[in-house]
Chains A and B, each alone.
Chain A
Amino acid sequence: MAKVKMAKKATSIDMTAMCDVAFLLLTFFILTATAKQPEPLPVDTPNSTNQTKLPDSDLATITIGQKGKVFFGVTGRDLRMSTLEMMAQKYNVTFSQEDKEKFALIENFGVPIENLKQIIDMKAADRNKENVQPGIPKDSLNNQLADWVQYSRRAAIDNHNVELTIAIKGDAKEEYPEIKKVMDILQNQKVNSFNLVTGLRGEDF
């Protein structure tokens, strides 16, 4: 019987195509990933079992932390710019075009509008240092937070024709009256439905 010679097959496979695909996907994910911006007011959100995600656009976030300090932020550069324009008009503060463009890049801030210019002129690293920003005034005499919310909602309707989603991001240790104040401000504007930002509850609750 003739010996059947087994054809010797190479054990290595050509990886070039696989490598190409892998790197293509890698590039895609790196580019689509949104880099996490440093927050001027870091908060530790409480956890919940809720799985709903926050929307990406047309979202205003009110951050509450460090004994009632309130920070405000809107998504979208166009919304930020038009909100600032309306606020500037109301409080008689003038901003140059350059200031407005710089402001459009700030994700979150917490200063009275009178001091906003100084914050805009700061470098991003200095801006996010602790105790640089004292929070937005929200008492009944000087309720700038209510105006920010109102004008950002108007900006969302003007620019995108949608109602702005408002999210409250509170620190777990924050006392309830501070949260209540913000909820009251929203309710005074007939915003009765909003989101509470929470983390994912890992342990068995």
Chain B
Amino acid sequence: MAELNTGDGGGKKGSKKVRSKKLNSKVDLTAMVDLAFLLITFFMLTTSLSKPQSMDLSLPDKDEDPTKNKDVKVDENRTMTLLLGDNNQLKMYMGMLNNPLVAPKDIAYGKAGLRAEILKRKKTVQEYTGDAKKGLIVIIKPSKKSNYKNLVDVLDEMAIDDVGTYAITDILPEEVKLLEGAAPATPQ
């Protein structure tokens, strides 16, 4: 490839004049261009991909004055409560804890467990209310032992399944008991 052939290719034959050999000044730049483009690609991709992603989280206003703190009443038929325990344990129930519409049960994170459950509940709630604006309400209750990953996973699931209304609230003592009581029965 390298064009270092001397410049007498087109010279007249038979010319007896002794010429100093002209060296071709062209250098093959192909390899250099290859390298440059490789580096460009690398820098282009790393600059845009290294930026961390973020998830927006809006929490309800917290009032310092306890008298003003009104508990929001929601329809028990529309609420689904998720209890986050340790070792990636996850429990759900519908309605109120004392009188649940669907008794508390263990579900798994991910596609087969949580997502299927949410989509199923979403459908039934939609049929119950008959109003597109009144969908499923998910209440997320992380226990003291749950980790941050579990919370982000559940929040992400809310975004994937397009659950419009969800809240993170403190776990109740009865619910902690429920999580702990069932823990030995479910091998992880």
Contacts and interface: CB of A to CB of B under 8 A. Distances in A.
B23 to A, nearest CB: 16
Contacts of A199: 52-53
B56 A193 contact: yes
Interface of A: 12, 14-16, 18-19, 22-23, 25-26, 29-30, 32-34, 36, 45-54, 64, 167, 169-177, 179-180, 183-184, 187-188, 190, 192-201, 204-205
A22 B32 CA distance: 9
A193 B61 CA distance: 10
Nearest to B62: A187
A174 B36 contact: no
A167 B54 contact: yes
The B interface, classified by DSSP as helix, strand, loop or mixed, is: mixed
Given A15-B32, A16-B29, A22-B37, 19 more contacts: A18-B33, A19-B33, A22-B40, A36-B50, A46-B149, A48-B156, A52-B53, A52-B55, A53-B52, A54-B54, A171-B148, A174-B148, A176-B142, A176-B147, A184-B62, A193-B57, A193-B59, A194-B57, A205-B110
B117 interface: no
A192 B56 CA distance: 11
B144 A48 contact: no
A170 B143 CA distance: 17
Nearest to A54: B54
Chain B interface size range: 35 or more
A180 B59 CA distance: 12
Contacts of A25: 36, 40
A12 B36 contact: no
Contacts of A205: 110-111, 156, 160
29 contacts: A15-B30, A22-B36, A26-B39, A29-B40, A34-B47, A48-B153, A48-B156, A50-B53, A53-B54, A167-B54, A172-B149, A173-B147, A173-B149, A174-B148, A175-B146, A175-B147, A175-B148, A176-B145, A176-B148, A184-B62, A187-B62, A194-B56, A195-B55, A195-B57, A196-B152, A196-B155, A198-B53, A198-B152, A199-B53
